[in-house]
Structure 1
Amino acid sequence: MNSAVLQAAAPVLADSFIELPARERVRALLDPGTFRELLGPFDRIESPWLPLQGIVCQADDGAVIARGTIDGEPAVVAALESAFQGGSIGEVSGSKLAGALELALRDCERGRIVRPVVLFETGGVRLQEANLGLAVIAEMQAAIVALRRYVPVVGVIAGMVGCFGGMSLAAALCSHLVVTKQGRLGMNGPEVIEQEAGIDELDSSDKRRIWQLIGGEQRAATGLADSLVDDDVQAVRTAVVDAFARGVPKAHRSEQVDAYLARLAAIDPQTVTPDTMRAVFGADASAQIKE
Protein backbone atom coordinates (compact mmCIF):
# COMPACT_ATOMS: atom_id res chain seq x y z
CA MET A 1 0.00 0.00 0.00
CA ASN A 2 1.36 3.44 -0.91
CA SER A 3 0.28 7.09 -1.12
CA ALA A 4 -1.15 6.54 -4.60
CA VAL A 5 -3.50 3.94 -3.15
CA LEU A 6 -4.49 6.38 -0.43
CA GLN A 7 -5.28 9.09 -2.98
CA ALA A 8 -7.37 6.66 -5.00
CA ALA A 9 -9.58 5.71 -2.04
CA ALA A 10 -13.32 5.53 -2.58
CA PRO A 11 -15.16 8.87 -2.74
CA VAL A 12 -17.05 10.19 0.28
CA LEU A 13 -20.56 8.74 0.50
CA ALA A 14 -21.65 9.95 3.94
CA ASP A 15 -23.85 13.04 4.26
CA SER A 16 -22.61 13.92 7.75
CA PHE A 17 -19.46 16.03 7.77
CA ILE A 18 -18.86 15.48 11.48
CA GLU A 19 -18.76 11.71 11.14
CA LEU A 20 -15.93 11.83 8.62
CA PRO A 21 -12.32 11.38 9.73
CA ALA A 22 -9.97 14.27 9.02
CA ARG A 23 -8.63 12.92 5.73
CA GLU A 24 -12.13 12.47 4.30
CA ARG A 25 -13.20 15.90 5.49
CA VAL A 26 -10.35 17.37 3.48
CA ARG A 27 -11.23 15.26 0.46
CA ALA A 28 -14.87 16.34 0.71
CA LEU A 29 -13.97 20.03 0.49
CA LEU A 30 -11.62 19.73 -2.48
CA ASP A 31 -12.92 19.35 -6.02
CA PRO A 32 -13.31 15.66 -6.98
CA GLY A 33 -10.09 14.10 -8.22
CA THR A 34 -7.81 16.95 -7.08
CA PHE A 35 -6.86 15.67 -3.60
CA ARG A 36 -3.06 15.40 -3.27
CA GLU A 37 -1.77 14.78 0.22
CA LEU A 38 1.46 16.32 1.48
CA LEU A 39 3.52 14.59 4.19
CA GLY A 40 1.00 11.79 4.55
CA PRO A 41 1.20 8.73 6.81
CA PHE A 42 3.48 6.85 4.41
CA ASP A 43 6.12 9.54 4.94
CA ARG A 44 6.06 8.52 8.63
CA ILE A 45 6.85 11.91 10.11
CA GLU A 46 5.88 11.14 13.69
CA SER A 47 6.18 12.87 17.05
CA PRO A 48 9.56 12.08 18.64
CA TRP A 49 8.17 12.91 22.09
CA LEU A 50 5.10 10.73 22.54
CA PRO A 51 6.95 7.35 22.57
CA LEU A 52 9.08 8.64 25.45
CA GLN A 53 5.87 8.74 27.48
CA GLY A 54 4.56 5.39 26.34
CA ILE A 55 2.07 6.82 23.84
CA VAL A 56 1.70 5.10 20.48
CA CYS A 57 2.34 7.52 17.61
CA GLN A 58 0.20 8.09 14.57
CA ALA A 59 2.14 8.10 11.31
CA ASP A 60 0.81 11.52 10.25
CA ASP A 61 0.78 12.89 13.84
CA GLY A 62 -2.93 13.55 13.50
CA ALA A 63 -2.61 16.30 10.88
CA VAL A 64 -3.74 16.01 7.27
CA ILE A 65 -2.52 18.46 4.64
CA ALA A 66 -3.65 18.35 1.02
CA ARG A 67 -3.44 20.51 -2.08
CA GLY A 68 -6.07 20.57 -4.79
CA THR A 69 -8.70 22.98 -6.02
CA ILE A 70 -11.87 24.44 -4.55
CA ASP A 71 -14.39 25.63 -7.10
CA GLY A 72 -11.62 25.36 -9.69
CA GLU A 73 -9.14 27.55 -7.80
CA PRO A 74 -5.87 26.31 -6.21
CA ALA A 75 -6.35 25.50 -2.53
CA VAL A 76 -4.68 23.98 0.49
CA VAL A 77 -6.75 22.33 3.21
CA ALA A 78 -5.40 21.38 6.63
CA ALA A 79 -7.30 19.24 9.14
CA LEU A 80 -6.69 17.83 12.59
CA GLU A 81 -7.80 14.31 13.50
CA SER A 82 -9.84 14.46 16.70
CA ALA A 83 -9.55 10.69 17.15
CA PHE A 84 -5.81 11.06 17.84
CA GLN A 85 -4.94 12.84 21.08
CA GLY A 86 -8.10 14.94 20.78
CA GLY A 87 -6.71 16.76 17.76
CA SER A 88 -4.08 18.35 19.98
CA ILE A 89 -1.17 20.29 18.51
CA GLY A 90 2.37 18.98 18.87
CA GLU A 91 5.67 19.80 17.22
CA VAL A 92 5.03 17.77 14.06
CA SER A 93 1.29 18.32 13.56
CA GLY A 94 1.63 22.03 14.25
CA SER A 95 4.62 22.37 11.94
CA LYS A 96 2.69 20.67 9.16
CA LEU A 97 -0.16 23.19 9.48
CA ALA A 98 2.14 26.19 9.83
CA GLY A 99 4.29 25.00 6.90
CA ALA A 100 1.26 24.54 4.66
CA LEU A 101 0.07 28.07 5.39
CA GLU A 102 3.55 29.50 4.87
CA LEU A 103 3.85 27.77 1.48
CA ALA A 104 0.47 29.19 0.50
CA LEU A 105 1.69 32.61 1.60
CA ARG A 106 4.79 32.26 -0.57
CA ASP A 107 2.61 31.45 -3.56
CA CYS A 108 0.31 34.41 -2.86
CA GLU A 109 3.29 36.77 -2.57
CA ARG A 110 4.36 35.60 -6.03
CA GLY A 111 0.95 36.36 -7.49
CA ARG A 112 -0.41 32.80 -7.48
CA ILE A 113 -3.37 32.91 -5.12
CA VAL A 114 -3.96 29.75 -3.10
CA ARG A 115 -7.14 29.39 -1.07
CA PRO A 116 -6.32 28.29 2.53
CA VAL A 117 -8.81 26.32 4.66
CA VAL A 118 -8.19 25.04 8.20
CA LEU A 119 -10.51 22.44 9.76
CA PHE A 120 -10.24 23.09 13.49
CA GLU A 121 -10.96 20.01 15.61
CA THR A 122 -8.67 20.43 18.56
CA GLY A 123 -8.39 20.88 22.28
CA GLY A 124 -5.31 23.05 21.77
CA VAL A 125 -1.69 22.37 22.62
CA ARG A 126 -0.65 18.78 23.34
CA LEU A 127 0.39 18.76 26.99
CA GLN A 128 3.26 16.36 26.29
CA GLU A 129 4.76 18.90 23.87
CA ALA A 130 3.54 22.11 25.47
CA ASN A 131 6.28 24.62 24.61
CA LEU A 132 6.83 23.21 21.14
CA GLY A 133 3.09 23.25 20.49
CA LEU A 134 2.78 26.86 21.61
CA ALA A 135 5.64 27.87 19.33
CA VAL A 136 4.12 26.33 16.22
CA ILE A 137 0.69 27.78 17.00
CA ALA A 138 2.34 31.21 17.06
CA GLU A 139 3.85 30.45 13.64
CA MET A 140 0.44 29.39 12.39
CA GLN A 141 -1.21 32.55 13.65
CA ALA A 142 1.48 34.72 12.03
CA ALA A 143 0.93 32.92 8.72
CA ILE A 144 -2.85 33.45 8.90
CA VAL A 145 -2.42 37.18 9.52
CA ALA A 146 0.05 37.47 6.64
CA LEU A 147 -2.10 35.39 4.28
CA ARG A 148 -5.30 37.30 4.81
CA ARG A 149 -3.79 40.36 3.15
CA TYR A 150 -4.02 38.43 -0.12
CA VAL A 151 -6.86 35.95 0.23
CA PRO A 152 -9.56 35.04 2.77
CA VAL A 153 -8.45 32.43 5.27
CA VAL A 154 -11.42 30.16 5.99
CA GLY A 155 -11.79 28.13 9.17
CA VAL A 156 -14.31 25.37 9.85
CA ILE A 157 -15.39 24.13 13.30
CA ALA A 158 -17.77 21.22 12.88
CA GLY A 159 -17.50 18.89 15.93
CA MET A 160 -17.07 16.58 17.81
CA VAL A 161 -14.18 18.07 19.85
CA GLY A 162 -14.59 21.75 18.99
CA CYS A 163 -11.81 24.31 19.07
CA PHE A 164 -10.08 25.43 22.27
CA GLY A 165 -6.85 26.78 23.68
CA GLY A 166 -4.35 28.53 21.46
CA MET A 167 -6.08 27.16 18.40
CA SER A 168 -9.20 29.14 19.28
CA LEU A 169 -7.08 32.25 18.78
CA ALA A 170 -5.98 30.94 15.38
CA ALA A 171 -9.64 30.35 14.49
CA ALA A 172 -10.52 33.89 15.59
CA LEU A 173 -7.89 35.27 13.21
CA CYS A 174 -9.53 33.64 10.19
CA SER A 175 -11.28 35.89 7.69
CA HIS A 176 -14.39 33.70 7.72
CA LEU A 177 -15.38 31.06 10.25
CA VAL A 178 -17.89 28.34 9.36
CA VAL A 179 -19.54 26.43 12.23
CA THR A 180 -22.21 23.82 12.80
CA LYS A 181 -24.55 23.71 15.80
CA GLN A 182 -22.50 20.79 17.09
CA GLY A 183 -19.25 22.78 17.00
CA ARG A 184 -17.88 24.60 20.04
CA LEU A 185 -15.44 27.49 20.29
CA GLY A 186 -13.79 28.81 23.43
CA MET A 187 -10.46 29.70 24.97
CA ASN A 188 -10.86 27.08 27.71
CA GLY A 189 -12.88 23.90 27.56
CA PRO A 190 -15.73 23.27 30.04
CA GLU A 191 -13.76 20.68 32.00
CA VAL A 192 -10.84 23.09 32.45
CA ILE A 193 -13.14 25.88 33.60
CA GLU A 194 -14.84 23.60 36.14
CA GLN A 195 -11.48 22.33 37.37
CA GLU A 196 -9.99 25.80 37.84
CA ALA A 197 -13.04 27.86 38.87
CA GLY A 198 -15.32 25.27 40.41
CA ILE A 199 -18.61 23.68 39.49
CA ASP A 200 -20.51 26.80 40.59
CA GLU A 201 -18.84 28.64 37.71
CA LEU A 202 -19.58 25.95 35.13
CA ASP A 203 -20.88 22.41 35.40
CA SER A 204 -19.12 20.54 32.58
CA SER A 205 -21.80 17.83 32.65
CA ASP A 206 -24.52 20.38 31.76
CA LYS A 207 -24.28 19.89 28.00
CA ARG A 208 -27.27 22.09 27.17
CA ARG A 209 -25.76 25.01 29.09
CA ILE A 210 -22.36 24.53 27.48
CA TRP A 211 -23.78 24.67 23.95
CA GLN A 212 -25.86 27.72 24.92
CA LEU A 213 -22.64 29.46 25.92
CA ILE A 214 -20.03 28.31 23.39
CA GLY A 215 -21.88 26.23 20.80
CA GLY A 216 -21.82 27.00 17.10
CA GLU A 217 -25.28 28.56 17.04
CA GLN A 218 -24.38 30.95 19.87
CA ARG A 219 -21.04 31.87 18.30
CA ALA A 220 -22.75 32.68 15.01
CA ALA A 221 -25.48 34.69 16.77
CA THR A 222 -22.85 36.76 18.58
CA GLY A 223 -20.77 37.44 15.47
CA LEU A 224 -17.79 35.31 16.48
CA ALA A 225 -18.54 32.99 13.56
CA ASP A 226 -19.76 33.99 10.13
CA SER A 227 -21.73 31.03 8.77
CA LEU A 228 -23.90 28.53 10.65
CA VAL A 229 -24.52 25.39 8.59
CA ASP A 230 -26.12 21.99 9.03
CA ASP A 231 -23.96 18.94 9.56
CA ASP A 232 -23.93 18.08 5.89
CA VAL A 233 -20.97 17.63 3.57
CA GLN A 234 -22.44 19.73 0.78
CA ALA A 235 -23.61 22.46 3.16
CA VAL A 236 -20.12 22.84 4.63
CA ARG A 237 -18.51 22.83 1.18
CA THR A 238 -20.96 25.44 -0.11
CA ALA A 239 -20.27 27.67 2.90
CA VAL A 240 -16.52 27.46 2.25
CA VAL A 241 -16.97 28.32 -1.44
CA ASP A 242 -19.25 31.24 -0.51
CA ALA A 243 -16.71 32.51 2.03
CA PHE A 244 -14.06 32.79 -0.67
CA ALA A 245 -16.58 34.46 -3.00
CA ARG A 246 -17.15 37.19 -0.39
CA GLY A 247 -13.46 38.05 -0.47
CA VAL A 248 -11.26 39.59 2.20
CA PRO A 249 -13.33 41.52 4.79
CA LYS A 250 -12.83 45.27 5.07
CA ALA A 251 -11.81 44.70 8.67
CA HIS A 252 -11.11 41.42 10.44
CA ARG A 253 -12.40 40.80 13.96
CA SER A 254 -8.87 41.02 15.34
CA GLU A 255 -8.56 44.51 13.88
CA GLN A 256 -11.63 45.79 15.77
CA VAL A 257 -10.24 45.68 19.30
CA ASP A 258 -11.75 48.96 20.51
CA ALA A 259 -15.22 48.04 19.26
CA TYR A 260 -15.12 44.68 21.03
CA LEU A 261 -13.77 46.19 24.25
CA ALA A 262 -16.64 48.68 24.24
CA ARG A 263 -19.15 45.86 23.95
CA LEU A 264 -17.46 43.85 26.69
CA ALA A 265 -17.68 46.90 28.95
CA ALA A 266 -21.46 46.84 28.49
CA ILE A 267 -21.74 43.35 30.01
CA ASP A 268 -22.39 42.77 33.70
CA PRO A 269 -20.50 39.57 34.63
CA GLN A 270 -22.94 38.94 37.49
CA THR A 271 -25.96 38.75 35.21
CA VAL A 272 -24.49 37.60 31.91
CA THR A 273 -26.58 35.06 30.00
CA PRO A 274 -26.52 33.68 26.46
CA ASP A 275 -29.36 36.09 25.62
CA THR A 276 -27.54 39.16 26.95
CA MET A 277 -24.49 38.15 24.96
CA ARG A 278 -26.60 38.01 21.82
CA ALA A 279 -28.02 41.45 22.58
CA VAL A 280 -24.54 42.97 22.87
CA PHE A 281 -22.74 40.97 20.18
CA GLY A 282 -25.68 40.14 17.92
CA ALA A 283 -26.10 40.60 14.19
CA ASP A 284 -26.60 44.39 14.30
CA ALA A 285 -23.60 44.98 16.58
CA SER A 286 -21.41 42.63 14.56
CA ALA A 287 -22.39 44.33 11.32
CA GLN A 288 -21.28 47.66 12.80
CA ILE A 289 -17.95 46.13 13.84
CA LYS A 290 -17.29 44.80 10.34
CA GLU A 291 -18.15 48.03 8.55
Structure 2
Amino acid sequence: MSTATLQHAPALRDSFIELTARERARALLDEGTFRELLGPFDRIESPWLPLQGIVCQADDGAVIARGTIDGQPAVIAAIESAFQGGSIGEVSGSKIAAALELALRDCERGKIVRPVVLFETGGVRLQEANLGLAVIAEMQAAIVALRRYVPVVGVIAGMVGCFGGMSLAAGLCSYLIATRQGRLGMNGPEVIEQEAGIEELDSSDRRRVWQMIGGEQRVATGLADTLVDDDAHAVRDAIRDVFARGVPQAPRTEQVSAYLERLARIDPADVTPQTMRSVFDTTEAAAPRKEQS
Protein backbone atom coordinates (compact mmCIF):
# COMPACT_ATOMS: atom_id res chain seq x y z
CA MET A 1 0.00 0.00 0.00
CA SER A 2 1.40 3.39 -1.01
CA THR A 3 1.99 6.29 1.37
CA ALA A 4 -0.72 8.26 -0.43
CA THR A 5 -3.20 5.44 0.12
CA LEU A 6 -2.37 5.32 3.81
CA GLN A 7 -2.80 9.06 4.16
CA HIS A 8 -6.30 8.93 2.68
CA ALA A 9 -7.46 5.74 4.39
CA PRO A 10 -10.39 6.25 6.80
CA ALA A 11 -9.58 6.28 10.50
CA LEU A 12 -9.95 2.89 12.13
CA ARG A 13 -12.75 2.53 14.65
CA ASP A 14 -12.41 0.90 18.04
CA SER A 15 -15.52 -1.25 18.39
CA PHE A 16 -17.25 -0.64 21.71
CA ILE A 17 -19.47 -3.69 21.32
CA GLU A 18 -16.51 -6.05 21.09
CA LEU A 19 -15.08 -4.88 24.42
CA THR A 20 -15.73 -6.72 27.66
CA ALA A 21 -17.58 -4.91 30.44
CA ARG A 22 -14.29 -4.09 32.19
CA GLU A 23 -12.75 -2.79 28.97
CA ARG A 24 -15.82 -0.66 28.24
CA ALA A 25 -15.64 0.99 31.65
CA ARG A 26 -11.93 1.66 31.27
CA ALA A 27 -12.44 3.14 27.78
CA LEU A 28 -15.00 5.67 29.03
CA LEU A 29 -13.05 6.98 32.02
CA ASP A 30 -10.20 9.47 31.73
CA GLU A 31 -6.93 7.67 31.04
CA GLY A 32 -5.23 6.39 34.16
CA THR A 33 -8.20 6.97 36.49
CA PHE A 34 -9.87 3.54 36.32
CA ARG A 35 -10.23 1.95 39.77
CA GLU A 36 -12.38 -1.14 40.21
CA LEU A 37 -14.51 -1.71 43.30
CA LEU A 38 -15.36 -5.24 44.43
CA GLY A 39 -13.41 -6.79 41.59
CA PRO A 40 -12.73 -10.46 40.83
CA PHE A 41 -10.08 -10.82 43.52
CA ASP A 42 -12.63 -9.90 46.18
CA ARG A 43 -14.51 -13.04 45.07
CA ILE A 44 -17.97 -11.90 46.02
CA GLU A 45 -19.88 -14.59 44.14
CA SER A 46 -23.45 -15.75 43.89
CA PRO A 47 -24.22 -18.31 46.62
CA TRP A 48 -27.16 -19.62 44.60
CA LEU A 49 -25.71 -20.62 41.24
CA PRO A 50 -23.53 -23.53 42.52
CA LEU A 51 -26.63 -25.04 44.12
CA GLN A 52 -28.03 -25.34 40.60
CA GLY A 53 -24.87 -26.67 39.01
CA ILE A 54 -23.78 -23.37 37.46
CA VAL A 55 -20.18 -22.19 37.67
CA CYS A 56 -19.87 -18.76 39.29
CA GLN A 57 -17.97 -15.78 37.99
CA ALA A 58 -15.79 -13.96 40.52
CA ASP A 59 -17.37 -10.57 39.81
CA ASP A 60 -20.86 -12.04 39.15
CA GLY A 61 -20.94 -10.31 35.78
CA ALA A 62 -20.97 -6.72 37.05
CA VAL A 63 -18.00 -4.34 36.94
CA ILE A 64 -18.04 -1.24 39.13
CA ALA A 65 -15.40 1.36 38.33
CA ARG A 66 -14.61 4.76 39.82
CA GLY A 67 -12.58 7.41 38.03
CA THR A 68 -13.18 10.68 36.26
CA ILE A 69 -14.91 11.84 33.07
CA ASP A 70 -13.50 15.15 31.83
CA GLY A 71 -11.86 15.51 35.22
CA GLN A 72 -15.12 15.12 37.13
CA PRO A 73 -15.72 12.22 39.56
CA ALA A 74 -17.64 9.39 37.92
CA VAL A 75 -18.85 5.87 38.58
CA ILE A 76 -19.53 3.32 35.86
CA ALA A 77 -21.55 0.15 36.32
CA ALA A 78 -20.93 -2.20 33.40
CA ILE A 79 -22.81 -5.47 32.88
CA GLU A 80 -20.96 -8.38 31.29
CA SER A 81 -23.10 -10.09 28.65
CA ALA A 82 -20.72 -13.05 28.38
CA PHE A 83 -21.79 -14.29 31.83
CA GLN A 84 -25.34 -15.64 32.00
CA GLY A 85 -26.44 -13.25 29.25
CA GLY A 86 -25.87 -10.24 31.48
CA SER A 87 -28.66 -11.39 33.77
CA ILE A 88 -29.05 -9.67 37.13
CA GLY A 89 -28.72 -11.71 40.31
CA GLU A 90 -28.42 -10.85 43.98
CA VAL A 91 -24.70 -10.03 43.92
CA SER A 92 -24.40 -8.29 40.56
CA GLY A 93 -27.56 -6.26 41.19
CA SER A 94 -26.47 -5.32 44.71
CA LYS A 95 -23.12 -4.09 43.38
CA ILE A 96 -24.83 -1.81 40.88
CA ALA A 97 -27.46 -0.58 43.34
CA ALA A 98 -24.82 0.12 46.01
CA ALA A 99 -22.64 2.03 43.54
CA LEU A 100 -25.58 4.25 42.61
CA GLU A 101 -26.55 4.73 46.25
CA LEU A 102 -22.99 5.77 47.17
CA ALA A 103 -23.03 8.25 44.29
CA LEU A 104 -26.34 9.56 45.61
CA ARG A 105 -24.84 10.00 49.08
CA ASP A 106 -21.98 12.03 47.60
CA CYS A 107 -24.38 14.17 45.56
CA GLU A 108 -26.49 14.87 48.64
CA ARG A 109 -23.34 16.15 50.35
CA GLY A 110 -22.57 18.49 47.47
CA LYS A 111 -19.95 16.31 45.75
CA ILE A 112 -21.36 15.56 42.30
CA VAL A 113 -20.50 12.11 40.91
CA ARG A 114 -21.38 11.34 37.30
CA PRO A 115 -23.17 7.95 37.07
CA VAL A 116 -23.09 5.82 33.90
CA VAL A 117 -24.76 2.41 33.52
CA LEU A 118 -23.74 0.18 30.62
CA PHE A 119 -26.79 -2.00 29.98
CA GLU A 120 -26.08 -5.38 28.41
CA THR A 121 -28.70 -7.60 29.96
CA GLY A 122 -31.65 -9.85 29.37
CA GLY A 123 -33.09 -8.83 32.74
CA VAL A 124 -33.43 -10.72 35.99
CA ARG A 125 -31.48 -13.97 36.42
CA LEU A 126 -34.08 -16.73 36.48
CA GLN A 127 -32.07 -18.80 38.96
CA GLU A 128 -32.31 -15.90 41.45
CA ALA A 129 -35.63 -14.48 40.33
CA ASN A 130 -37.04 -12.84 43.47
CA LEU A 131 -33.65 -11.67 44.70
CA GLY A 132 -32.85 -10.26 41.28
CA LEU A 133 -36.17 -8.41 41.09
CA ALA A 134 -35.57 -6.91 44.54
CA VAL A 135 -32.17 -5.47 43.63
CA ILE A 136 -33.47 -4.15 40.31
CA ALA A 137 -36.09 -2.23 42.31
CA GLU A 138 -33.27 -0.82 44.47
CA MET A 139 -31.43 0.24 41.33
CA GLN A 140 -34.50 1.97 39.97
CA ALA A 141 -35.06 3.86 43.24
CA ALA A 142 -31.43 5.01 43.24
CA ILE A 143 -31.67 6.24 39.63
CA VAL A 144 -34.80 8.27 40.36
CA ALA A 145 -33.20 9.81 43.45
CA LEU A 146 -29.89 10.53 41.67
CA ARG A 147 -31.33 12.21 38.60
CA ARG A 148 -32.46 15.18 40.72
CA TYR A 149 -28.79 16.08 41.23
CA VAL A 150 -26.97 14.89 38.14
CA PRO A 151 -27.87 13.26 34.81
CA VAL A 152 -27.92 9.46 35.03
CA VAL A 153 -26.65 8.19 31.69
CA GLY A 154 -27.45 4.75 30.27
CA VAL A 155 -25.70 3.15 27.30
CA ILE A 156 -27.18 0.28 25.25
CA ALA A 157 -24.58 -0.92 22.79
CA GLY A 158 -25.18 -4.62 21.93
CA MET A 159 -25.12 -7.48 21.35
CA VAL A 160 -27.55 -8.67 24.04
CA GLY A 161 -29.46 -5.40 24.36
CA CYS A 162 -31.57 -4.41 27.34
CA PHE A 163 -34.72 -6.28 28.32
CA GLY A 164 -36.95 -7.23 31.22
CA GLY A 165 -36.87 -5.28 34.45
CA MET A 166 -33.60 -3.67 33.39
CA SER A 167 -35.37 -2.03 30.45
CA LEU A 168 -37.43 -0.18 33.07
CA ALA A 169 -34.23 0.89 34.81
CA ALA A 170 -32.91 2.13 31.47
CA GLY A 171 -36.14 4.05 30.88
CA LEU A 172 -35.64 5.87 34.18
CA CYS A 173 -32.23 7.22 33.14
CA SER A 174 -31.95 10.93 32.37
CA TYR A 175 -30.42 10.13 28.98
CA LEU A 176 -30.07 6.96 26.94
CA ILE A 177 -27.33 6.47 24.35
CA ALA A 178 -27.71 3.62 21.85
CA THR A 179 -25.92 2.14 18.88
CA ARG A 180 -27.83 0.79 15.90
CA GLN A 181 -26.88 -2.70 17.07
CA GLY A 182 -28.41 -2.12 20.52
CA ARG A 183 -31.96 -3.22 21.31
CA LEU A 184 -34.38 -2.05 23.97
CA GLY A 185 -37.66 -3.69 24.97
CA MET A 186 -39.61 -5.11 27.85
CA ASN A 187 -39.65 -8.60 26.32
CA GLY A 188 -37.03 -10.01 23.99
CA PRO A 189 -37.96 -11.34 20.53
CA GLU A 190 -37.48 -14.97 21.58
CA VAL A 191 -39.81 -14.53 24.55
CA ILE A 192 -42.48 -12.90 22.40
CA GLU A 193 -42.29 -15.71 19.84
CA GLN A 194 -42.43 -18.35 22.57
CA GLU A 195 -45.44 -16.84 24.34
CA ALA A 196 -47.43 -15.36 21.44
CA GLY A 197 -46.35 -17.51 18.51
CA ILE A 198 -44.26 -16.97 15.42
CA GLU A 199 -47.21 -15.25 13.76
CA GLU A 200 -46.77 -12.42 16.27
CA LEU A 201 -43.01 -12.18 15.84
CA ASP A 202 -40.44 -14.31 14.09
CA SER A 203 -37.37 -13.86 16.29
CA SER A 204 -35.12 -15.07 13.45
CA ASP A 205 -36.21 -12.12 11.29
CA ARG A 206 -33.32 -9.92 12.41
CA ARG A 207 -34.21 -7.07 10.08
CA ARG A 208 -37.70 -6.73 11.51
CA VAL A 209 -36.48 -7.08 15.11
CA TRP A 210 -34.03 -4.21 14.73
CA GLN A 211 -36.61 -2.14 12.84
CA MET A 212 -38.96 -2.45 15.81
CA ILE A 213 -36.66 -2.26 18.85
CA GLY A 214 -33.19 -1.41 17.54
CA GLY A 215 -31.23 1.64 18.62
CA GLU A 216 -32.05 3.72 15.55
CA GLN A 217 -35.78 3.14 15.98
CA ARG A 218 -35.67 3.88 19.71
CA VAL A 219 -33.94 7.21 19.08
CA ALA A 220 -36.35 8.05 16.24
CA THR A 221 -39.30 7.47 18.56
CA GLY A 222 -37.83 9.43 21.47
CA LEU A 223 -37.32 6.46 23.76
CA ALA A 224 -33.54 6.99 23.56
CA ASP A 225 -31.72 10.25 23.09
CA THR A 226 -28.50 9.81 21.12
CA LEU A 227 -27.58 7.41 18.33
CA VAL A 228 -23.88 6.57 18.10
CA ASP A 229 -21.68 4.46 15.90
CA ASP A 230 -20.10 1.35 17.36
CA ASP A 231 -16.95 3.18 18.34
CA ALA A 232 -15.51 3.66 21.83
CA HIS A 233 -14.51 7.25 21.09
CA ALA A 234 -17.99 8.09 19.78
CA VAL A 235 -19.63 6.61 22.88
CA ARG A 236 -17.28 8.55 25.15
CA ASP A 237 -17.99 11.79 23.27
CA ALA A 238 -21.75 11.17 23.47
CA ILE A 239 -21.54 10.66 27.25
CA ARG A 240 -19.64 13.91 27.65
CA ASP A 241 -22.22 15.69 25.50
CA VAL A 242 -25.24 14.57 27.52
CA PHE A 243 -23.56 15.41 30.82
CA ALA A 244 -22.95 18.88 29.41
CA ARG A 245 -26.71 19.26 28.82
CA GLY A 246 -27.35 18.99 32.55
CA VAL A 247 -30.36 17.58 34.35
CA PRO A 248 -33.43 17.39 32.04
CA GLN A 249 -36.27 19.68 33.03
CA ALA A 250 -38.74 16.80 32.77
CA PRO A 251 -37.55 13.17 32.46
CA ARG A 252 -39.56 10.91 30.18
CA THR A 253 -41.08 9.08 33.14
CA GLU A 254 -42.59 12.30 34.45
CA GLN A 255 -44.34 13.09 31.15
CA VAL A 256 -47.13 10.60 31.72
CA SER A 257 -49.99 12.54 30.11
CA ALA A 258 -48.08 13.16 26.90
CA TYR A 259 -47.18 9.50 26.51
CA LEU A 260 -50.69 8.29 27.32
CA GLU A 261 -52.05 10.59 24.62
CA ARG A 262 -49.69 9.10 22.04
CA LEU A 263 -50.36 5.54 23.16
CA ALA A 264 -54.07 6.14 22.65
CA ARG A 265 -53.34 6.91 18.99
CA ILE A 266 -51.80 3.50 18.31
CA ASP A 267 -53.86 1.06 16.27
CA PRO A 268 -52.96 -2.43 17.59
CA ALA A 269 -53.79 -3.87 14.17
CA ASP A 270 -51.29 -1.59 12.46
CA VAL A 271 -48.09 -1.60 14.49
CA THR A 272 -45.10 -1.06 12.21
CA PRO A 273 -41.81 0.78 12.63
CA GLN A 274 -43.17 3.67 10.57
CA THR A 275 -46.48 3.99 12.42
CA MET A 276 -44.58 4.07 15.70
CA ARG A 277 -42.40 6.87 14.36
CA SER A 278 -45.44 8.81 13.24
CA VAL A 279 -46.93 8.53 16.73
CA PHE A 280 -43.84 9.31 18.79
CA ASP A 281 -41.45 11.28 16.61
CA THR A 282 -43.07 14.67 17.14
CA THR A 283 -44.09 14.16 20.76
CA GLU A 284 -43.09 16.77 23.28
CA ALA A 285 -42.32 13.85 25.57
CA ALA A 286 -39.33 12.91 23.46
CA ALA A 287 -36.05 14.17 24.88
CA PRO A 288 -33.70 16.12 22.59
CA ARG A 289 -31.97 13.79 20.16
CA LYS A 290 -28.61 14.14 18.52
CA GLU A 291 -26.65 11.99 16.09
CA GLN A 292 -23.07 11.26 17.11
CA SER A 293 -20.43 9.71 14.89
Work out whether the TM-score is over 0.5. Answer: yes
Mapped contact 2:222–2:287 kept (Cα < 8 A): no
For 2:280, the equivalent position in structure 1 comes to 281
Mapped contact 1:256–1:289 kept (Cα < 8 A): no
1:101: how far off? 0.0
The 3 A distance-change label for structure 1 pair 65 and 288 is closer
CA distance in 1, matches of 2:105, 2:73: 13
**Structure 2 residue 158 is matched with structure 1 residue 159:** yes
The percent of aligned pairs where both chains have the same amino acid is: 84
**Structure 2 residue 230 is matched with structure 1 residue 231:** yes
**Structure 2 residue 69 is matched with structure 1 residue 109:** no
CA distance in 2, matches of 1:180, 1:269: 27
Mapped contact 2:221–2:280 kept (Cα < 8 A): yes
CA distance in 2, matches of 1:241, 1:41: 29
CA distance in 2, matches of 1:158, 1:266: 30
For 1:183, the equivalent position in structure 2 comes to 182
The 3 A distance-change label for structure 1 pair 30 and 185 is same
1:14: how far off? 7.1
Mapped contact 1:259–1:289 kept (Cα < 8 A): no
Structure 1 runs (4+) greater than 3 angstroms displaced? 287-291
1:272: how far off? 1.4
Q: Within 5 Å, which residues of 2 pair with 1:43-82?
A: 43-82=42-81
Q: Within 5 Å, which residues of 2 pair with 1:72-151?
A: 72-151=71-150
Give the letter for the 1:181 counterpart: R
The 3 A distance-change label for structure 1 pair 219 and 127 is same
> SS where residue 183 of structure 2 aligns?
coil
After superposition, the C-alpha distances for 1:142-185 in whole angstroms (9 at most, x for unaligned) are: 00000000000000000010000000000000000000000000
Q: TM-score, normalised by structure 1?
A: 0.94
Give the letter for the 1:17 counterpart: F
CA distance in 2, matches of 1:121, 1:212: 19
- Between the two proteins, the alignment pairs up a number of residues equal to 277
After superposition, the C-alpha distances for 1:182-241 in whole angstroms (9 at most, x for unaligned) are: 000000000000011111100011000000000000000000000000000000000000
**Structure 2 residue 265 is matched with structure 1 residue 266:** yes
After superposition, the C-alpha distances for 1:103-128 in whole angstroms (9 at most, x for unaligned) are: 00000000000000000000000000
1:290: how far off? 5.0
CA distance in 1, matches of 2:102, 2:178: 26
1:289: how far off? 5.0
CA distance in 1, matches of 2:238, 2:286: 22
> SS where residue 248 of structure 1 aligns?
coil
CA distance in 2, matches of 1:157, 1:243: 15
1:258: how far off? 1.0
For 2:240, the equivalent position in structure 1 comes to 241
Give the letter for the 1:141 counterpart: Q
> SS where residue 188 of structure 1 aligns?
coil
Give the letter for the 1:254 counterpart: T
Mapped contact 2:97–2:139 kept (Cα < 8 A): yes
For 1:34, the equivalent position in structure 2 comes to 33
Provide structure 1 residue ranges, at least 5 long, that are not aligned to the other structure.
1-12
For 1:7, the equivalent position in structure 2 comes to none
